[in-house]
């Protein structure tokens, strides 16, 4: 199964990102069944900022060999409560991070997640590291109220 974000142009679906186009190329010549759904409107630049920030934190975190941007993203989501909560077989409570993908949240919902994450970043990663990463990926304007769209 292949799922990707695309645009309809001239009666054809064109992948929006190069990796999706490459993945679609693997299906060349195949007969497929397609189901199209209208994507939620979201800001790709905000998602890039999210992953850019998580990557910079991972690169600069002491002991960075053992952590990557996905781990930083999951930690942020868990700490701010963007998570599923469930009981395990032993009766304990567990949390799993929810998705921030385009199909999982509206733009308003993502803005709320982004704002909560940035608010708890100083506590998690320290002010010096967080501010340096904010500056490097262009999030300092976002944090000071000049939202990127």
User: 88-145: per-residue pLDDT in tens?
Assistant: 999 999 999 998 887 778 888 888 888 888 888 888 888 888 888 888 887 666 555 5
- Asked whether residue 129 is assigned to any structural domain, the reply reads yes
- pLDDT > 70? residue 147: no
Domain-located, residue 149: no
Q: Tell me, yes or no, whether 29 lies in a domain.
A: yes
Residue numbers of the domain that contains 76: 44-143
The pLDDT confidence band at residue 11, using thresholds 50, 70 and 90, is confident
- The pLDDT score that the predictor gives to residue 143 is 55
Q: Higher confidence at residue 146 or residue 70?
A: 70
Do 12 and 75 reside in the same domain of the chain?
no
Percent of the chain whose predicted confidence (pLDDT) is above 70: 89
Tell me the CA end-to-end span of the chain in Å, nearest whole number.
31
| Residue 102 domain-assigned (yes or no) | yes
Whether residue 59 is found in the same domain as residue 95: yes
Among residues 108, 107, 111, 112, which one has the least CA distance to residue 40? 107
Query: Do 112 and 76 share a domain, yes or no?
Result: yes
Would you say residue 63 lies in a domain? yes
Q: Is residue 62 part of a domain?
A: yes
Nearest to 53 by CA among 113, 149, 144, 140: 140
Residue 90 lies in a domain: yes
Share of the chain above pLDDT 90, in %: 19
Please tell me the predicted confidence (pLDDT) of residue 39.
66
Identify whether residues 20 and 79 lie together within a single domain.
no
Pairing of strands 6-9, 83-87: unpaired
CA distances, 33 to each of 2, 12, 23, 27, 36 (Å): 11, 14, 16, 12, 10
- Predicted confidence band of residue 149 (pLDDT cuts 50, 70, 90): very low
Tell whether 49 and 88 lie within a shared domain.
Answer: yes
The total number of structural domains in the chain stands at 2
Task: List helix spans (H) across 31-106.
Answer: 44-60, 69-79
Considering the chain, what is the average pLDDT of its residues?
A: 83
84 shares its domain with 123: yes
pLDDT recorded at residue 112 = 87
Residue 121 lies in a domain: yes
């Amino acid at each position: 199964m292949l799922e990707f974000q695309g645009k309809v142009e001239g009666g054809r679906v064109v992948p929006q990102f190069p990796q999706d186009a490459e993945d679609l190329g693997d299906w060349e010549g195949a007969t497929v069944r397609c189901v199209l759904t209208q994507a939620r409107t979201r800001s790709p630049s905000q998602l890039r900022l999210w992953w850019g920030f998580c990557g910079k934190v991972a690169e600069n975190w002491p002991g960075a060999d053992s952590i990557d941007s996905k781990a930083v993203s999951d930690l942020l989501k868990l700490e701010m409560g963007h998570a599923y909560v469930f009981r395990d077989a032993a009766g304990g409570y567990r949390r799993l991070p929810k998705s921030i993908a385009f199909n999982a949240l509206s733009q308003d919902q993502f803005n709320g997640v982004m704002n909560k994450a940035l608010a708890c970043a100083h506590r998690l990663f320290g002010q010096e590291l967080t501010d340096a990463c904010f500056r490097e990926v262009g999030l300092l304007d976002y944090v000071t109220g000049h939202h990127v769209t």
